Amino acid sequence: MSWTTRSRGPRRVGGTALVVGAGMAGLCAARVAAERFDRVLVLDRDTLPPAPAPRARVPQGRQPHLLLPAGARCLEGWFPGLVDDLVARGAVPLDLCADFYWHQCGGVLRRPASALRGPAMSRPFLEDAVRRRVGLVPGVTVRDGVTAVGLTADPTGRRVTGVRLGDGSTVAADLVVDATGRSAHSLDWVRALGYEPPPVSVVRVDTRYVSRTYRRSGPAEGGWKAAAVVGEPATRRLAVALAIEGDRWITFVAGLGGESPPVDEEQRRAYVRTLPSPVIADLMATCEPLGAASTHRFADDRRRHVERLRRFPLGWVLLGDAVSSFDPIYGQGMTSAALQAEALGRCLDRTGAVDRALARRYFAAASRVVAVPWSLAVGGDFAYPGTEGPRPAGTDLLNRYVARTVVAAQHDDAVALRLNEVQAMVRRPGSLFLPGIALRVLRRGRATGPASERVLPRPARA
Ligand SMILES: Cc1cc2nc3c(=O)[nH]c(=O)nc-3n(C[C@H](O)[C@H](O)[C@H](O)COP(=O)(O)OP(=O)(O)OC[C@H]3O[C@@H](n4cnc5c(N)ncnc54)[C@H](O)[C@@H]3O)c2cc1C
């Protein structure tokens, strides 16, 4: 079912790979590099906590992070047994289709059982588990409290030879992976070597989040473990609830296009009541809040067109949010990072060296990976008033079709399943247009109208 291609196996490149940033992208890159390089050094400027905890330099870590099945597949492949271990420690096993109450376009989507599995947990919980495993991989060293401030290069300036650190020292490497997040700090550093950064597409969304955790004492009414209630685009409002470790729910309320959800609990609950289904407002009303609410503002979708780079130094690549970061309401960032890391591994296996061919192949492959979440996120964002930027051709037509698909998914298991597979990044968006699905969409998405909430949802399976 996966749309990624598989390599024949890791090929030894040798030497040292240096990964700047120990976020999810950096950790995935380190795991992939470890099978190909003699040594892998991961540096992070943050203090990395010994147990799951939010980090100062990753403020988004306090917000809900859903790991999509395509990302879970990569992580489980790199760390066999990870998913079982996460669940044993409290993560919530989730069938993204059967366990997900999804209200959009005036009704609730069908919830057939599916193979779309991925445990639900907080970002710090996942990152901690992955970081501990990366630290155990032979040849890998993770150092925290270390800030990279520049690149070192050979006398010609054509090949990167390592990084400069904040204390003035240098670390030598054959490959430097910039996994510093959406700021992509190394773009300034390659500019200092005389190279232009890649062209960038920016779509302004101004999404504002307010999140909070609540005690979870049992299943939600209806048996769901995750819920999304999406208001009509004109309201620019939506809310999500997710069961996570520690017998907790985490909820977020999001406003798009500058719409600002209240931070005050009562006002926010009243705000969530304005959404077309009461399930998340009811959860907030009946569960005990834990800790304070936290806010986050996401200004824009940002895609760096690394595939268009013509001049770049050898031995340097970008990975994760540094390549592209998408409106988080679609939950794609960690999965995109994992798929980019997987692509880097495949490219190393093809070239067997850190050369121009590697960079060209990888930049093209990373661009193919991010093209899918980019089209889903940017396309979806343009359904909301206030979104500004380059609008991909056919967006309005596509959004009308997607809205019909959502309505059809309220009545038709096959359509609901396919829609979830696309959201989960295990099938390409084009699969929504294949005749078997398109005919159902055209028939059910128009004639029947939204489903009654009294009929749906049905209890999740164990
Ligand atoms: C509000 C919000 C909600 C989100 N929800 C989801 C979700 O539900 N599902 C999902 O998959 N994704 C989600 N994401 C996206 C997700 O957080 C990222 O896409 C993903 O974690 C990959 O990020 P990254 O590792 O590239 O960058 P980051 O997580 O930002 O990590 C970058 C790391 O680099 C380090 N660093 C930076 N500069 C330096 C330097 N000079 N020297 C050394 N270290 C440095 C930082 O300390 C940090 O640890 C969300 C994002 C936001 C903002």
Q: What would the mean pLDDT of 312-325 be, rounded to a whole number?
A: 98
pLDDT higher than 50, residue 36: yes
pLDDT at residue 319 in the model: 98
pLDDT higher than 80, residue 408: yes
The best mutation among 28, 62, 65, 339 to test binding of ligand 1, ranked by most ligand atoms within 8 Å of the C-beta, falls on: 65
Q: What would the mean pLDDT of 382-402 be, rounded to a whole number?
A: 90
Rounded to 5 degrees, what are φ and ψ at 305? -85, 75
| Spatial CA neighbour of 211 closest among 250, 247, 248, 244 | 250
pLDDT higher than 70, residue 276: yes
Atom number of ligand 1 nearest to Cα 321: 26
Ligand 1 centre from 343 Cα, in Å?
19
Atom number of ligand 1 nearest to Cα 21: 34
Ligand 1 centre from 353 Cα, in Å?
28
Q: What would the mean pLDDT of 366-395 be, rounded to a whole number?
A: 92
Total residue count of the chain as it appears in this document = 462
Cβ atoms of 42 and 48 within 8 Å: the answer is no
pLDDT at residue 59 in the model: 84
Find the residues whose C-beta lies inside 6 A of ligand 1.
20-26, 43-46, 57-58, 60, 63-66, 147-148, 179-181, 185, 209, 296, 298, 320-322, 325, 328, 331-335, 337
Cβ atoms of 176 and 315 within 8 Å: the answer is yes
The pLDDT > 90 percentage for the chain reads 87
The best mutation among 27, 96, 325, 423 to test binding of ligand 1, ranked by most ligand atoms within 8 Å of the C-beta, falls on: 325
Q: How far apart are CA 371 and CA 336, in angstroms?
A: 10
Q: Delineate the domains of the chain, giving CATH numbers in brackets.
A: 16-58+70-88+124-201+304-380 (3.50.50.60), 92-121+202-300 (3.30.9), 395-452 (no CATH)
Q: What would the mean pLDDT of 32-39 be, rounded to a whole number?
A: 98
pLDDT tens digits for range 178-211: 999 999 999 999 999 999 999 999 999 999 999 9
pLDDT at residue 448 in the model: 52
Cβ atoms of 216 and 201 within 8 Å: the answer is no
Q: What's the pTM value of the predicted model, to 2 decimals?
A: 0.94
pLDDT higher than 50, residue 452: no
Least confident of 141-150, 189-198, 311-320, 385-394: 385-394
Ligand 1 centre from 136 Cα, in Å?
22
Going by pLDDT thresholds of 50, 70 and 90, the confidence category of residue 393 is confident
Buried b (16+ CB within 10 A) or exposed e, 91-126: bbbbbbbbbbbbbbbbbbbbbeebebbbbbbbbbbb
Ligand 1 centre from 452 Cα, in Å?
39
Residues in Cβ contact with 152 at an 8 Å cutoff, skipping those fewer than 6 apart: 160, 161, 162, 163, 164, 170, 172
Q: How far apart are CA 450 and CA 407, in angstroms?
A: 6
Cβ atoms of 374 and 324 within 8 Å: the answer is yes
Going by pLDDT thresholds of 50, 70 and 90, the confidence category of residue 58 is confident
Ligand 1 centre from 19 Cα, in Å?
14
Question: For ligand 1, atom 18, which residue shows the shortest CA distance?
Answer: 333
The one-letter code for the residue type at 266 is E
Written as one string, the DSSP assignment of 24-68 is HHHHHHHHHHHTTSSEEEEE-SSPPPSSS--BTTBGGGGS--PPP
pLDDT at residue 221 in the model: 85
pLDDT at residue 265 in the model: 97
pLDDT tens digits for range 334-373: 999 999 999 999 999 999 999 999 999 999 999 999 999 9
Q: What would the mean pLDDT of 82-93 be, rounded to a whole number?
A: 97
| Spatial CA neighbour of 241 closest among 223, 253, 233, 259 | 253
Average pLDDT, the chain: 93
Q: What would the mean pLDDT of 156-175 be, rounded to a whole number?
A: 97
pLDDT at residue 87 in the model: 97
